[in-house]
Amino acid sequence: MMKIYDADHIRNVALVGHQGSGKTMLAEAMLLATGALQRMGTIEEGTTVSDYHPSEKEREMSVFASLLHVEFAGNKLNVIDTPGYPDFVSEVAASLHVADSALFLINAADGVQVGTELAWRSAVRESIPSMFVINQLDKAKTDFRDLVSQIKDRFGRGATVVQLPVGGGSRSIIDVLLMKQLTFDDKGKMTLSDIDEEFAAEAEQLHNDLVENIAENDESLMELYFDKGTLSEDEMRTGLREAMIRHQLFPIFLTSATLNIGVSRLMEFIGNVCPTPNQMPEAKTQGGGTIKPDSSGEPVALIYHTMAEAHVGDYSFFRMYSGMLSNGMDVVNASTGVTERLGQLFVINGHLREPVDKMYAGDLGALVKLKNSHTNDTLHRKGSSIVMEKIEFPKPRYSMAVIATREGEEDKLAQGLHQLHEEDPSLTITHDQHLNQLVIGAQGEMQLEIAKYRLKNRFGVDIQFVRPKVAYRETVHAHARSKYRHKKQTGGAGQFADLSLFVEPADKEFKPTPDIKVRGEHTHTTSWGSKVYFIDAIVGGVIDMRRFFGAIQKGVLEACARGPIAGYPVGDVRVVIFDGSMHPVDSNEAAFKSAARACFQDAFRKASPVLLEPIHDVEVLVPESYTGEVMGDMNTRRARIQGMEIEGVFQKILAQVPEAELYRYSTSLRSMTQGRGLHSSSFTRYEMMPRNVQESVIAESAALAEA
């Protein structure tokens, strides 16, 4: 059974970066270098430890974050291999929330790409110590110095070189922290030697730059530097660690993962410099508190990822923040209050699992078959009030309506979607009862395709995506009166109701007229979030309002639920009941409900009805070179540009855009910006749409109704 590690001997690192930067193969190389593997797998053959799901093998790319671990130099290195495709940024966000260091891999041939920039935004939000690993330097057409310049331009001058390549075809790297030349055999074993003379001057300059960068971020080290003119290796390591924790310095390392070059030295640096859980700032809890990674403290763990595995059940991946968990222990889910009896604890290497008896603060592991615990839930002892700060998942950038292709599977579909959301909260599910549609929100088309695949293979539900309907609203722009008499005789007791209504916009001040006197007022908030204001102006008892007001209100609200001009919900109107008559025998609630519905519809159609469309506040982040094209596209979407701001190396465009014009916008934006554009949107208000657009929507609604 595997050795149990405490917080002083654990490093939690997340491998992040753009798709194809080599994260999965670096994880393979780490496993090989420590003897956990006898032979490295390949992406093409689908034999890697971390990319083991069928959807990952089919696409030859990471889709889910995979937890691995290696034992190296007396430490346990927990490694989370994250996907690099932008649609799966939520997996990156969860991984960075529980890691203590981020290793940003950069493909030497491609440079800094959008997946790296997306991950960087999450790392800054989490204030996680970070470093860069330029991978695949053995590839042709790579320029190390240009890559360093790109990194500094995109991520700040704190990026500092620790290693220097010897040249194409070489298995050697110059390490300016050690001031040695490192040569790696085909099994990854490292040999140290003096630096070749042709690189000595550059290495010396980079060493001095590194020492100065470390010293200027720490007053005590600065004094030592002034006294001695240099720093020892241990002093440099300590200074680097502290500067990484403060997000001031970001070391730059080199590897060629597939050739196992630089991997053992990278792991050595992680063990010597990257912070342990004990060296990190205390983790935040809800309510503004913090918690120490104390193995003797009360047990507190956060579930950061949930994944269903065939023939096993649900895996709950967790980070221990305090105390110890052991097999058979009872803990409480802080979100639900449900007591969970823990089964077997596991350490994980991709699809491989190894049982352990217990785990201490700072460690990452997995549990199987918890009853009712999901991503972002805190597990603690009974009576505890500690709840860990939740992972902040990105808001959806892309939405589609989803329907089951076979009738009668709506309940299975709803159950499956609910389970997917529990596992991945970045997948949002909304049901609009008025539009009768289920909408799934995600980061992009690929994430939705993976959800579709999982629904079919796990829940047996075939689905199709369709364009979501827009939640338009109907209201009036003027005022109008209408009179309606409902009279029905069928042999026995008949139906009779005579009603006169006045309809106007609710935002206009109501002004009584000589024939309309206010006797009572009532405001109704509809299930779709609008208001309908009722005024009782009946005089002389021509209608018994104590008896029939409820029926009149129901009739009007039924007409509002399916608006008179295009079938969309009505809101923000004032309805004045000012005249009518009743029959002592034939008048009843059903008659007045029918009369109210018909009378309201007639008055509404006369009062200059209009359609309102939802408007969204939109933020678009793009590199400056794409600003003109993005602005031009915005203009075709009826956008109103509110301004522009600079955010780092990006331009932020602020605009207000009709929701109907945002359909598949994330896909269009990626196409325009070579994948580097990002956007977010949020509903702000309803406003009247242009007449030509309104006529098109009304005609489309009429055609659908006829069909």
Helices 233-245 + 219-228 axis angle, to 10: 150
Average pLDDT value for residue range 47-60: 90
User: What is 401-469's CATH number, 3.30.70.870, 2.40.37.20, 1.20.1290.10, 3.40.50.9100?
Assistant: 3.30.70.870
Contacts of 22 (CB under 8 A, 6+ apart): 105, 107, 135, 136, 255, 257, 258
Is residue 20 a contact partner of residue 118, using CB atoms and an 8 Å limit?
Answer: no
Higher pLDDT: 380 or 624? It is: 380
Is residue 76 a contact partner of residue 92, using CB atoms and an 8 Å limit?
Answer: no
Q: What is the pLDDT of residue 34?
A: 92
- Report strand pairing: 520-525 vs 428-432: unpaired
User: Three-state SS across 575-607?
Assistant: EEEEEEECCCCCCCHHHHHHHHHHHHHHHHHHC
Q: What is the pLDDT of residue 513?
A: 79
Is residue 679 a contact partner of residue 619, using CB atoms and an 8 Å limit?
Answer: yes
pLDDT in tens, 63-120: 999 999 999 999 999 999 999 998 999 999 999 999 999 999 999 988 888 888 889 9
- Among 370, 281, 253, residue whose Cα is nearest residue 15: 253
Mean pLDDT for the chain? 92
Is residue 214 a contact partner of residue 249, using CB atoms and an 8 Å limit?
Answer: yes
pLDDT in tens, 587-623: 999 999 999 999 999 999 999 999 999 999 999 999 8
Average pLDDT value for residue range 428-448: 92
Angle at 442 between CA 437 and CA 447, to 5 degrees: 115
Out of 203-207, 366-370, 644-648, pick the least confident.
Answer: 644-648
Cα Dmax for the chain: 113
Out of 294-308, 489-503, 644-658, pick the least confident.
Answer: 489-503
Q: What is the pLDDT of residue 567?
A: 92
Helix boundaries (H) for 129-196: 144-155
- Among 21, 52, 54, residue whose Cα is nearest residue 147: 21
Is residue 461 a contact partner of residue 455, using CB atoms and an 8 Å limit?
Answer: yes
The fold for domain 612-706 equals Alpha-Beta Plaits (3.30.70)
Same fold, 401-469 and 474-607: no
Instruction: Using the predicted structure, report yes or no on whether residue 335 has a pLDDT greater than 80.
Output: yes
What does CATH list as the number for 8-272?
3.40.50.300
pLDDT in tens, 28-45: 999 999 989 889 999 999
Q: Sorting pLDDT into bands at 50, 70 and 90, what band is 140?
A: low
Q: Is residue 183 classed exposed, middle or buried when 0-12, 13-18 and 19+ CB atoms within 10 A define those classes?
A: middle
What CATH class has 474-607? alpha beta
Signed CA dihedral, 191, 197, 202, 207: sign only: positive
Q: What is the pLDDT of residue 109?
A: 86
Instruction: Using the predicted structure, report yes or no on whether residue 579 has a pLDDT greater than 70.
Output: yes
Instruction: Using the predicted structure, report yes or no on whether residue 164 has a pLDDT greater than 70.
Output: yes
Average pLDDT value for residue range 617-645: 94
Is residue 396 a contact partner of residue 426, using CB atoms and an 8 Å limit?
Answer: yes
- Among 561, 589, 500, residue whose Cα is nearest residue 536: 500
User: Three-state SS across 283-313?
Assistant: EEECCCCEECCCCCCCCEEEEEEEEEECCCE
CA 626 to chain centre: 24
pTM above 0.75, yes or no: yes
Q: What is the pLDDT of residue 136?
A: 86
Q: What is the pLDDT of residue 83?
A: 95
Which three-class secondary structure state does DSSP give residue 616?
strand
Instruction: Using the predicted structure, report yes or no on whether residue 346 has a pLDDT greater than 90.
Output: yes
User: What is 283-380's CATH number, 2.40.30.10, 2.40.30.170, 1.10.3470.10, 3.50.50.60?
Assistant: 2.40.30.10
Q: Which two tokens stand for residue 414?
A: 């709803």
Q: What is the pLDDT of residue 1?
A: 63
pLDDT in tens, 217-252: 888 888 887 878 788 889 899 999 999 999 999 999
Q: Where are the beta strands (DSSP E) in 219-363?
A: 250-255, 283-284, 290-291, 300-309, 313-322, 324-326, 330-333, 339-341, 345-349, 352-356, 358-360
Question: Of all residues in the chain, what percent carry a pLDDT higher than 90?
Answer: 75
User: Three-state SS across 82-100?
Assistant: CCCCHHHHHHHHHHHHHCC
Q: What is the pLDDT of residue 501?
A: 96
Q: What is the pLDDT of residue 278?
A: 96
How is the chain split into domains, by residue range? 8-272, 283-380, 401-469, 474-607, 612-706
- Among 379, 385, 381, residue whose Cα is nearest residue 366: 379
HSE at residue 381, side-chain half, CA atoms within 13 A, is 10
Residue 381 is which amino acid?
R
Q: What is the pLDDT of residue 515?
A: 77
Q: Sorting pLDDT into bands at 50, 70 and 90, what band is 184?
A: very high
Q: What are phi and psi of 677, to 5 degrees?
A: -90, 140
Q: What is the pLDDT of residue 163?
A: 96
Instruction: Using the predicted structure, report yes or no on whether residue 510 has a pLDDT greater than 90.
Output: no
Is residue 192 a contact partner of residue 280, using CB atoms and an 8 Å limit?
Answer: no
Residue for token pair 């995600």 = 442
Is residue 118 a contact partner of residue 678, using CB atoms and an 8 Å limit?
Answer: yes
pLDDT in tens, 366-419: 999 898 899 999 999 999 999 999 999 999 999 999 999 999 899 999 999 998
Q: What is the pLDDT of residue 218?
A: 82
Which three-class secondary structure state does DSSP give residue 323?
coil
